[in-house]
Chain A
Amino acid sequence: MPEAKLSLRAVVKSFGDNAVLKGIDLDVAPGEMICLIGASGSGKSTLLRCINQLEPIDDGAVFLEGQDISEPGLDLAPIRRRIGIVFQSYNLFPHMTALDNVLLAPRRVLRGDVAEQRARAEALFDRFGLAPHMLKYPDQLSGGQQQRVAVIRALAMQPEIMLFDEITAALDPELVGEVLQVLRQLRAEGMTMVLATHEMGFAREAADRVCFMDGGVIVEEGPPQEIFSAPKRARTQAFLKAVLR
């Protein structure tokens, strides 16, 4: 097995007295897609936000390609650009066109040739079928389109790993498919991905590994067939029984 792209060691995080993550260990191999499942409040979102250091962790360590990125005092901007994240609520910048949303960070952070960046951004829009909407403002786009623009915006920084925080949870059911399709496409291209999701069908079909979280720990993890068909732990069984009906 090659060296892990991302490793979490005994990650602990609390908000005040509320312990949200109680010791998380996780290794993500290059090109692997991991789905975090579990009830709301089980710590999935917090885990993602601790991976890209949006939330500083209290204890333990997060390694990106062997480098401890959770060390307090580290300059985080160069690290964050290597980790793309997409949120449930899209969080596009409403005062910019879709294209400008995508180009802002490359222009300000990566610098380099403007024409080349624009060409690359346009290629991304093309790849995800959004070329006709490039010059629209976010409020002129459907939820699904906005979310795909948010994915493109993260990809434009050429991240080494992508985090997805329940990115279909705010979408109308008929728009979920187009966003999941983007994820399939990324997976086929070998992107390393960690996603928190309530889409059990998708997790089962597309994930390399599924982690069931409950109460701030990973209760059970394994290949999707194993987790969904033959969960070993009682808590996993109860959760799956509740959501798969």
Chain B
Amino acid sequence: MVARDDRRAVDPLIRVNRRQAYEAAQRRRALMVAGVSTVVVLAAAIILVPLAPGWPAVRASFFDASVFAETFPTLLQAFLIDVMIFAWSVPLILGLGLAIALARGARAAALFPLRIFGAIYVDVFRGIPVVLTIYLIGFGIPGLGLPRPWNSPYIWGTVALVLTYSAYVAEVLRSGIESVHASQRNAAICLGLSERDTMRYVILPQAIRRVVPANMNMLVALQKDVALLSFIGPVEILRQAGIYKSLLANFTPYVVAAVIFLLVTVPATRYADHLLNRDRNARS
């Protein structure tokens, strides 16, 4: 596309048709308007915000460059704990989410309790704020007087995250399973495949592929929610930032933490969006 435009620019003999000329003009106009409005907004922010009466104080306590440089390495290291907790939670969440999704779809009469359990599970853990689940499980279960290491907040914090997120993932997967057209199932059972094989080889592979983008978004949210475990003990990035805040009487560590989260979550969200768009394009 670009190459063709370039060729046209150097070679006037390649004629631009009316539609192309019109669209090129429109594009130029749109670019200019967007550029001007962006510059205006940015300039306003840069000029107006420092005019606020509290700005010098805010700048000193939130955007202190020396505090930023001092706390960044340690906070980055503390973030590794978040990444670790995230890393071992993900397979557990996907496994449990799949199990719950399948339980909810179980049709056999003998499996009815499983279905009920799946439905209640999803309702309960989607209905409670993550923080509450983390508090209740993270403080409640070790409170039973479990011996070390079974009272570790890492374990019970992970459990709380897994319980909550697998409920969401289960719902996403279930919607994926239901989005596979009934004719696929018919084709499979008409070949003599069992219900189980039909699910495993025909329905699930298609369903899982369809919900990858949605689950990517879920994982981005999980990465952020790992920070909530700071409330029950682990000295991960949010807690470490809190320690620095008290130590240095400065909020800049929180800004550092936010920046570190963005470094990870922005690329991940963009990637998820890219997958979603690709999916949409492939289907239309």
Contact = CB atoms under 8 A, between A and B. Distances in A.
Task: Say whether A associates with B.
Answer: yes
Contact of B197 (A84, A91, A108, A153): A108
B205 interface: yes
A132 interface: no
Interface stretch (A74-82, A168-176, A203-211): A74-82
Interface size class of A (residues with CB under 8 A): 20 to 34
Nearest to A153: B191
Interface stretch (B69-77, B138-146, B182-190): B182-190
B192 A91 contact: no
A153 B202 CA distance: 14
Given A93-B202, A95-B206, A105 B186 contact: no
B192 A80 contact: yes
A78 B194 CA distance: 10
Interface size class of B (residues with CB under 8 A): 10 to 19
A84 B187 CA distance: 10
B193 interface: yes
A73 B268 CA distance: 50
Contact of B183 (A91, A104, A109, A157): A91
Given A93-B202, A104-B201, A81 B184 contact: no
Interface in A81-116: 81, 83-85, 87, 89, 91-95, 104-105, 108-109
Contacts of A70: none
A235 B248 CA distance: 94
Contacts of B206: 93-95
B270 interface: no
A54 interface: yes
A80 B209 contact: no
Interface in B201-230: 201-202, 205-206, 209
B186 A77 contact: no
Nearest to B181: A91
B161 to A, nearest CB: 31
Given A91-B186, A93-B184, A105 B205 contact: no
Given A95-B205, A104-B201, A81 B192 contact: yes
Interface of A: 52, 54, 76-78, 80-81, 83-85, 87, 89, 91-95, 104-105, 108-109, 153-154, 157
Given A52-B190, A80-B192, A93-B201, 5 more contacts: A54-B190, A76-B189, A95-B205, A95-B206, A108-B193
